[in-house]
């Protein structure tokens, strides 16, 4: 049996520019899978730090890197792709992710019409609503990471 290979990845939990007085979290609906919402995320390129990847991915996916980092989850998180997705992502069995909590700067403009659009819709929702939107295989990771940021007093 071969060892599983996990794609290095970064993910952003974005709070609105009204944070901390209003704590709303950004989620976006994928344009390739119906009714699937998630946080912006993407691969870390060779030689790139996770923070460099964070800002690059945000610009590529939501049209802005105009955020400030509030906190970083202290550990890499890992999950396996469902079989259907794993076939498309070969040779990777899943992803190992570094999560950042970031605040959208005042005046930042979200634009999903990027060079290679990944999302078709977005909204800011209450912390308690996130699990109502995200796909089943990401829920355990999202719960753990959001729980950590909540326990630390950020959410």
User: In the chain, what are the domain boundaries?
Assistant: 6-151
pLDDT for res 1: 53
Are the C-beta atoms of residues 99 and 79 closer than 8 Å to each other? no
Q: In terms of DSSP bridges, do strands 24-30 and 94-104 run parallel, antiparallel, or are they unpaired?
A: unpaired
Query: Each residue of 13-29: pLDDT tens digit?
Result: 999 999 999 999 999 99
Q: CATH: 3.40.50.970, 3.90.79.10, 3.40.228.10, 2.60.120.10. Which one for 6-151?
A: 3.90.79.10
Cβ contacts of 2 within 8 Å, gap of 6 or more: none
Are the C-beta atoms of residues 11 and 100 closer than 8 Å to each other? yes
Output the pTM of the full model: 0.94
Mean pLDDT of all residues in the chain?
A: 95
* Nearest CA among 44, 45, 27 for reference residue 36: 27
Query: Each residue of 100-148: pLDDT tens digit?
Result: 999 999 999 999 999 999 999 999 999 999 999 998 999 999 999 999 9
**C-alpha count within 13 angstroms, C-beta hemisphere, residue 63:** 15
How much of the chain, in percent, has pLDDT values that exceed 90?
Answer: 85
């Amino acid at each position: 049996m071969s060892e599983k290979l996990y794609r290095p990845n970064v993910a952003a939990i974005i709070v609105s520019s009204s944070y901390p007085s209003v704590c709303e979290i950004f989620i976006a609906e994928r344009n390739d899978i119906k009714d699937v919402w998630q946080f912006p995320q993407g691969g870390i390129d060779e030689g790139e730090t996770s923070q460099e990847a964070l800002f690059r991915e945000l610009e590529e996916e939501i049209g802005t890197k105009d955020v400030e980092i509030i906190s970083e989850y202290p550990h890499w998180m890992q999950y396996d792709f469902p079989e259907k997705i794993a076939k498309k992502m070969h040779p990777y069995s899943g992803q190992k992710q570094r999560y950042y909590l970031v605040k959208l700067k005042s005046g930042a403009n979200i634009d999903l019409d990027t060079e290679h659009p990944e999302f078709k819709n977005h909204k800011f929702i209450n912390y308690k609503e996130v699990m109502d939107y995200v796909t089943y295989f990401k829920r355990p990771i999202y719960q753990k990471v959001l729980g950590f940021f909540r326990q630390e007093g950020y959410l």
